[in-house]
Amino acid sequence: MDLERANRYIDGLYSKEQLLRKAEFLRATALQNFTEVVDDDVARLIRLLILISRPKRILEIGTSIGFSTCSMASMLKKTGGQITTIEFDPVVAEQAKSHFNRLGYQDVVDLRVGDARNILPTLEPDYDMVFQDADKRLYPELLPDCLHLLRPGGLLLAEDSLFPVMELDTRYHALIEPINRFNTMIAESTGLFSTLLPLGDGLTVAVKLD
Ligand SMILES: C[S@@+](CC[C@H](N)C(=O)[O-])C[C@H]1O[C@@H](n2cnc3c(N)ncnc32)[C@H](O)[C@@H]1O
């Protein structure tokens, strides 16, 4: 199956829905340099998972300009709940903050600026959902902290998990080994029930078992 054609078809089906979309979010972004944000289909699936699982506490690692944060916040406004999101780069974090204020999500989002490696150990556990989308080289290193912070029955999501089988520019080749190691850790973990969906650049969806 041609996945890009499938994505265009799915986007077309939902194009009339009054949802926050990546293209309009990027148009409203003043900053020029920032790391790529999730695609609309990934944002949509995460909103769907929020609607199903009704998380009260979400942890996001890697905010960038705040597109996925705003997408999740839009659903949490209806279902109730809060997001803690961590961003290393203060300039990018400032842009994200201005989007949270512009869209009225400042009461739903707790933005922490700093390195997730230092911030994760300071957080209180029992998050209902953890979304990993920071530096791909850190995925294996941060996994134990993510699992510690997630409550039993909670959802772990990770973006870009299909990098190892994608045709990537050579500058991304260093990310393949750590993502592959992360995927193996997830798949072989007896404490998780998981799958890897071919959505966006690959989305890991895992439930922490009791
Ligand atoms: C792929 S972007 C996040 C995109 C965002 N989740 C979205 O879809 O809208 C990854 C972000 O993680 C940040 N990052 C990388 N390493 C980090 C670290 N150690 N701690 C916190 N943030 C980090 C980068 O600065 C970058 O803005």
In SS3 terms, the chain reads as CCHHHHHHHHHHHCCCCCCCCHHHHHHCCCCCCCCCCCCHHHHHHHHHHHHHHCCCEEEEECCCCCHHHHHHHHHHHHHCCEEEEEECCHHHHHHHHHHHHHHCCCCCEEEEECCHHHHHHHCCCCEEEEEECCCHHHHHHHHHHHHHHEEEEEEEEEECCCHHHCCCCHHHHHHHHHHHHHHHHHHHCCCEEEEEECCCCCEEEEEECC
pLDDT confidence of residue 173: 92
pLDDT confidence of residue 207: 98
Cα 115 to ligand 1 centre (Å): 10
Domain that holds residue 153: 3-208
Return averaged pLDDT per consecutive 10 residues of the chain, 210 residues in all. 84 85 95 94 96 98 98 97 98 98 98 98 98 98 98 98 93 94 98 96 96
Domains contained in the chain, number:
1
pLDDT confidence of residue 159: 98
Note the pTM of the prediction, 2 decimals.
Answer: 0.97
CATH number, domain of 157, equals: 3.40.50.150
> Closest Cα to atom 14, ligand 1: which residue?
134
Does the CB atom of residue 135 touch ligand 1 within 6 A?
yes
pLDDT confidence of residue 10: 87
Does the CB atom of residue 141 touch ligand 1 within 6 A?
no
Q: Which of 45, 89, 111, 141 to mutate to test the pocket of ligand 1 (most atoms within 8 A of CB)?
A: 89
pLDDT confidence of residue 129: 98
pLDDT confidence of residue 58: 99
Does the CB atom of residue 68 touch ligand 1 within 6 A?
yes
Does the CB atom of residue 94 touch ligand 1 within 6 A?
no
